[in-house]
């Protein structure tokens, strides 16, 4: 008897310690999340975390309505932008299971024309429809949204009805509804009156949307009013947990079809992309992550599933800043500061923070500092990043420089004239942002014009290699010959990733620009 009492006492002690550890993790996560919210100037946020059958957290932070000082709660509904795409994926695969749709159908079968008859439904669903279809991943919400037309023609029902009747109502996601027009709602309620409580709850509790001005002020705005297969669902983190559970239980489609959804797509040349069928799919330190972000003015969200741990995270908020500064469309979940915090609090087990994750935290720290107008603090983050990632500066070409433009920040168009008194072999070294999936188009790049303004050389279209850091950091290093004459070297950057305004990991050498050297031997 004494032996059994000791066992029971030990078990109770272990349970108490486990609960205490869990409470500490949750408290640490909530505190960190609220800190991120404040740094990103997000008025209101809601969050839910579930592991196995246990809801670890459902809570609101900040304000759903600043003017009226209405607090955000776990019941506050938010628009979740592109998180809606995961629902599109489920509905598409249901139609596949019913034999009403084939992923390899050409979209012309559904009266869609994007200028290439070879584009398929699968390529819209995997963001591989641009350029040569199937050859490269390029996130494109507009093209993805055309799947709404495909579904309506395949099923005979508009997307919003498929969403309500196949997912929201069966799961009793009573705080969720599509953001459709009043006219559509009036017509729909005639067909199906049971939808009204869903719309009433979702829209009566809907957070007010806000935007950040160029000066950093938070201003009320209006929702875009758009809804479709690309985005626009109104929901709560708690309802997203219901949806996640249903996916895990294969309530919508078979396990085999769901496996296809969560398998990263391959391009026609075999390259693995960061996207499956309507979900981002990523492996990190031996674990799979299925996730999606949402981002539209006035709304953003993050929805993450970690199947190995039966762990789900849902975060919603009423500005675009949960996602907008961090370029999550590139396919790296851990460029999100919320995902970094989630990893530390619920996934990391005793080990030191991974070096690559620490790097991303430094870059995000700089991004948030810049968002708050603190360039000095941002530069300190960049300096620490550089210190933690030493490289040989001699990797930048050396020699007699003819012309150069370096340390190019965002929104710049710079030029430097130079003159050649004789024909010269030139080594050109340029680093910039190659922003197309197939590497054919640059957002930040350099070029050379002659005295008439004619372009005689450009980084666009040249063979490029990875410059380190984010994959989009690309470099051109080549030799050309120019005749004697007067020339101008140019470099142009857009409003994203650039020197000391990195929205992703910077290139290894922190160089951003173009250099020309005399390559004569």
393-518, what's its fold?
Jelly Rolls (2.60.120)
Mean pLDDT of the chain: 93
Contact call for residues 236 and 77 (beta carbons, < 8 A): yes
Q: What share of the chain is helix, strand, coil (3-state, %, to 5)?
A: 35, 25, 40
Angle, helix 84-97 to helix 237-248, in steps of 10 degrees: 30
Inter-residue contact 51 to 79 (CB < 8 Å): no
The Cα–Cα gap between 364 and 356 comes to 13
State the DSSP code for 354. Answer: P
What is the per-residue pLDDT for 214? 87
The token duo for 110 is 């559904």
Position 378 scores a pLDDT of 96
For residue 373, pLDDT over 70 is answered with yes
Q: Is the pLDDT of residue 14 over 60?
A: no
Q: Identify the helix (H) or strand (E) that includes residue 486.
A: strand 485-492
Q: SS3 for 307? A: helix
Architecture of domain 13-351: 3-Layer(aba) Sandwich (3.40)
**At which residue do the structure tokens 């675009």 appear?**
320
Residue 453 backbone class (left: φ over 0; alpha: ψ -120 to 50; beta: rest): left
Q: What secondary structure letter does DSSP report for 209?
A: P
pLDDT digits (tens, 9 = 90+) for 319-357: 999 999 999 999 999 999 999 999 999 999 877 889 999
pLDDT in tens, 19-28: 666 789 999 9
Residues in the chain: 521
Asked if 50 and 371 count as a contact pair (C-beta separation under 8 A), the reply is no
Q: Which of left, alpha, beta for 218 (phi over 0: left; psi -120 to 50: alpha)?
A: beta
Identify each DSSP E strand in 229-298 by its residue range.
Answer: 233-235, 280-284, 287-296
Distance CA 509, CA 516 (A): 17
CA distances from 87 to 148, 227, 243, 292, 380 (A): 11, 13, 9, 11, 41
Instruction: Look at residue 4 and tell me whether its pLDDT is greater than 70.
Output: no
Does position 239 have pLDDT exceeding 60, yes or no? yes
Task: Please say whether the beta carbons of 480 and 429 come within 8 A.
Answer: no
Query: Is 79 a residue whose pLDDT tops 50?
Result: yes
User: Cα separation of 474 and 476, whole Å?
Assistant: 7
Per the structure block, which two tokens stand in for 1?
Answer: 């008897």
If you search the block for the tokens 């599509």, which residue do you land on?
178
Q: What percent of the chain has pLDDT over 70?
A: 95
**What pLDDT is recorded for position 487?**
98
CA-derived radius of gyration, the chain: 26
Q: Which residues of 158-194 are buried (b: 16+ CB within 10 A; e: fewer)?
A: bbbbbbbebbbbebebbbbbbbbeeeebeebeeeeee
pLDDT category of residue 12 using cuts at 50, 70 and 90: very low
For residue 77, the tally of other CB atoms under 10 A from its CB is: 25
Question: In the chain, pLDDT over 90 holds for what percent of residues?
Answer: 87
Which structure tokens are listed for 208?
Answer: 């007010």
Q: In this predicted structure, what is the pLDDT of residue 496? A: 87
Q: For the chain, what are the domain ranges?
A: 13-351, 354-390, 393-518
Mean per-residue pLDDT for 239-258? 98
Give 14's contacts (C-beta < 8 A, 6+ positions apart): none
Q: Each residue of 387-409: pLDDT tens digit? A: 999 876 657 888 899 999 999 99
Distances (CA, A) of 152 to 82, 88, 98, 184, 400: 19, 12, 14, 15, 63
Q: How far apart are CA 302 and CA 246, in angstroms?
A: 18
Tell me if 33 sits within 8 A of 47, measured CB to CB. yes
Binned at pLDDT 50, 70 and 90, residue 225 comes out as confident
Q: Mind listing the pLDDT tens digit for each residue in 407-453?
A: 999 999 999 999 999 999 999 999 999 987 666 789 999 999 999 99
Q: What confidence score (pLDDT) does residue 11 get? A: 47
**pLDDT above 50: residue 17:** no
59-63, 222-226, 293-297: least confidently modelled range = 222-226
Burial profile 248-266: b = 16 or more Cβ within 10 angstroms, e = fewer: eeeebbeeebbebbbebbe
pTM of the model: 0.92
> Is residue 24 within 8 Å of 18, Cβ to Cβ?
no
Contact 195, 166 (CB under 8 A): no
pLDDT in tens, 88-136: 999 999 999 999 999 999 999 999 999 999 999 999 999 999 989 999 9
Residue 229 to residue 107: CA distance in whole angstroms: 15
Helices (H), 82-158: 84-97, 121-125, 141-145, 147-155
pLDDT tens digits along 469-486:
999 999 999 999 999 999
């Amino acid at each position: 008897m004494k032996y059994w009492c000791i066992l029971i006492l030990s078990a109770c002690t272990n349970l108490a310690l486990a609960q205490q550890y869990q409470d500490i993790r949750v408290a640490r996560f909530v505190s960190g999340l609220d800190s991120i919210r404040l740094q990103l100037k997000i008025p209101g946020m809601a969050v839910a975390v579930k592991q196995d059958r246990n809801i670890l957290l459902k809570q609101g932070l900040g304000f759903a309505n600043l003017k009226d000082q209405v607090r955000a709660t776990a019941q506050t509904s938010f628009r979740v932008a592109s998180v809606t795409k995961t629902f599109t994926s489920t509905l598409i695969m249901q139609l596949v299971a019913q034999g009403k749709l084939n992923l390899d159908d050409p979209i012309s079968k559904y009266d869609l024309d994007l200028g290439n008859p070879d584009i398929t439904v699968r390529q819209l669903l995997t963001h591989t429809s641009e350029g040569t279809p199937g050859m490269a991943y390029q996130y494109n919400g507009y093209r993805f949204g055309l799947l709404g037309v495909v579904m309506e023609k395949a099923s005979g029902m508009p997307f919003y009805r498929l969403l309500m009747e196949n997912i929201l109502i069966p799961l009793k996601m009573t705080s969720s509804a599509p953001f459709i027009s009043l006219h559509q709602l009036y017509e729909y309620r005639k067909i199906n009156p049971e939808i009204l409580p869903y719309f009433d709850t979702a829209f009566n509790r809907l957070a007010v949307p806000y935007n950040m001005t160029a000066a950093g002020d938070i201003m009320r705005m209006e929702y875009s009013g758009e809804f479709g297969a690309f985005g626009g669902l109104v929901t709560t983190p708690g309802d997203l947990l219901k949806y996640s559970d249903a996916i895990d239980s294969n309530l919508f489609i078979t396990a085999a079809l769901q496996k296809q959804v969560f398998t990263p797509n391959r391009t026609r040349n075999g390259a693995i992309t960061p996207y499956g069928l309507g979900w981002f799919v990523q492996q990190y330190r031996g674990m799979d992550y299925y996730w999606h972000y949402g981002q539209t003015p006035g709304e953003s969200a993050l929805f993450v599933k970690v199947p190995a741990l039966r762990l789900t995270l849902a975060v919603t908020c009423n500005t675009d800043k949960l996602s907008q500064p961090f370029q999550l469309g590139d396919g790296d979940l851990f460029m999100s500061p919320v995902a970094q915090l989630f990893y530390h609090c619920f996934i990391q087990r005793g080990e030191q923070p991974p070096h690559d994750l620490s790097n991303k935290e430094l870059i995000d720290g700089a991004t948030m500092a810049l968002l708050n107008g603190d360039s000095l603090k941002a530069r300190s983050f960049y300096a620490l990043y550089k210190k933690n990632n030493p490289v040989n500066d001699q990797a930048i070409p050396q020699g007699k420089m003819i012309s150069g433009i370096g340390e190019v920040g965002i929104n710049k168009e710079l030029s430097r004239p130079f003159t050649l008194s004789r024909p010269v072999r030139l080594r050109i070294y340029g680093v910039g942002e190659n922003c197309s999936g197939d590497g054919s188009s640059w957002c930040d790049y350099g070029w050379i014009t002659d005295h008439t303004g004619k372009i005689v050389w450009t980084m666009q279209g040249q063979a490029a290699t990875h410059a380190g850091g984010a994959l989009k950091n690309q470099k051109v290093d080549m030799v050309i010959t120019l005749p004697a004459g007067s020339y101008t070297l140019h470099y142009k950057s857009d409003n994203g990733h650039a020197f000391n305004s990195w929205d992703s990991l910077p290139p290894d050498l922190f160089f951003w620009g173009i250099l020309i050297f005399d390559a004569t031997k």
